[in-house]
Amino acid sequence: MTFLPYLLIGLALGLAAVFAKARYVSFWGQKPEDYADLPGPAFDIRETLNGPIVCEGVIFGPTGRVTSRFVADFEASWDGDEGRMTEIFTYDSGAIQHREWHLKVNAAGEITARAADVVGVGKGWQKGPTVLLNYRIRLSEEAGGHVLDTTDWMYLTPNGTIMNRSQFRKFGIKVAELVATMRPKDAANAAAPAFEVEREERERLAG
């Protein structure tokens, strides 16, 4: 009879430790200030997220397995500190999704973001070579209509490519993760011939 209270206390402490690790140590615990002094070009969404952009990515389910792959075309334009970015996703299932962001950034680097499937207003920061955006996204009815808490990080690499990692949580539990690359369409097209030459050379050596 006296063992049960200690067992419950142990379970509670264990759960608290897991939550603390996820909240303050892991991906979820990153802060914009962590990246303020990193070398390299700063991530200004008014410049980096501008014009036509190519995106490729994968979505992982709660078990860590890939559940979906996609390619996407973005088109972003800015009028001063206010921007609009349209997105067209093509998934491996053949499904096509259209989204549109309305973005605003102030002199301090604070970002506000709105979209039709975002509940309320997304909030974030651009700091150093990174951008953080937190928002609540409502899935389509086909996907269950759930509202998920989203932590969206983008990291600008030295060659101008953006690495995007997002986690989606329900009641604090991670249910999905997205990893993607974004780069200007001109740069993506310019890289295509080089990959084609490399592929042809591999086939020649193998043949």
Count how many domains the chain has: 2
In this structure, the answer to whether residues 89 and 171 fall within a common structural domain is yes
Give the pLDDT of residue 117: 96
What are the pLDDT digits (tens) for 45-61? 999 999 999 999 999 99
Model confidence at 144: pLDDT above 90: no
Residue 146: inside a domain: yes
CATH number (domain holding residue 128):
2.40.128.20
Exposure b/e, 175-205, CB count within 10 A at least 16 = b:
ebbbebebbbeeebeeeeeeeeeeeeeeeee
Residue 161 lies in a domain: yes
Asked if 60 and 108 sit in the same domain, the reply is: yes
Token pair recorded at residue 102: 């309305």
The 3-state secondary structure of 57-106 reads EEEECCCCCEEEEEEEEEEEEEECCEEEEEEEEEECCCCEEEEEEEEEEC
Same domain, 41 and 16: no
Mean pLDDT for 121-134 is 96
User: What does the DSSP 8-state code read for residue 160?
Assistant: S
Same domain? For 96 and 4 the reply is no
pLDDT tens-digit readout, 174-189: 999 999 999 998 866 6
What pLDDT shows up at residue 81? 97
The single-letter code of the amino acid at 22 is: A
User: Residue 14 sits in which domain range?
Assistant: 1-30
Domain for residue 207, yes or no?
no
- pLDDT digit string, tens, across residues 87-123: 999 999 999 999 999 999 999 999 999 999 999 999 9
Domain match, 159 and 148 both: yes
| The pLDDT of residue 1 | 46
Q: Are residues 96 and 163 in the same domain?
A: yes
